[in-house]
């Protein structure tokens, strides 16, 4: 298994800043811990499906909270599976 630390920006909009804090790898599975910051002055509702297209072959997503308060940061956990190689 392998753990990588970093802080690359994955996505930024006027509402959210998404950075990857950690990545894990074990056999055919990879996982990531994302920090999601609300850049607005209003609370935002989040859905797991909002994060499903950040990585290919996503098999699980867990949100620390479904509501993110203004200027707050939450964690999102994502697990992906490597695709079959031809």
Are the CB atoms for 17 and 34 separated by under 8 Å?
A: no
Residues 26 and 1 sit within 8 Å (Cβ to Cβ): yes
- How many Cβ atoms sit within 10 Å of the Cβ of residue 73? 13
pLDDT in single tens digits along all 86 residues of the chain: 555 666 778 888 899 999 999 999 999 999 999 999 999 999 999 999 999 888 889 999 999 999 999 999 999 999 999 865 44
pTM: predicted TM-score of the whole model, two decimal places: 0.83
């Amino acid at each position: 298994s392998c753990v990588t630390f970093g802080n690359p920006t994955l996505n930024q909009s006027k509402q959210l800043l998404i950075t990857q804090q950690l990545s894990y790898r074990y056999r055919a599975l990879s996982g990531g811990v994302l920090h999601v910051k609300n850049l607005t002055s209003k609370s935002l509702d989040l859905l797991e499906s909002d994060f499903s297209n950040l990585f290919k072959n996503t098999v699980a997503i867990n949100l620390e909270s479904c509501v993110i308060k203004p200027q707050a940061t939450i964690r999102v956990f994502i697990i992906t599976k490597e695709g079959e190689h031809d």
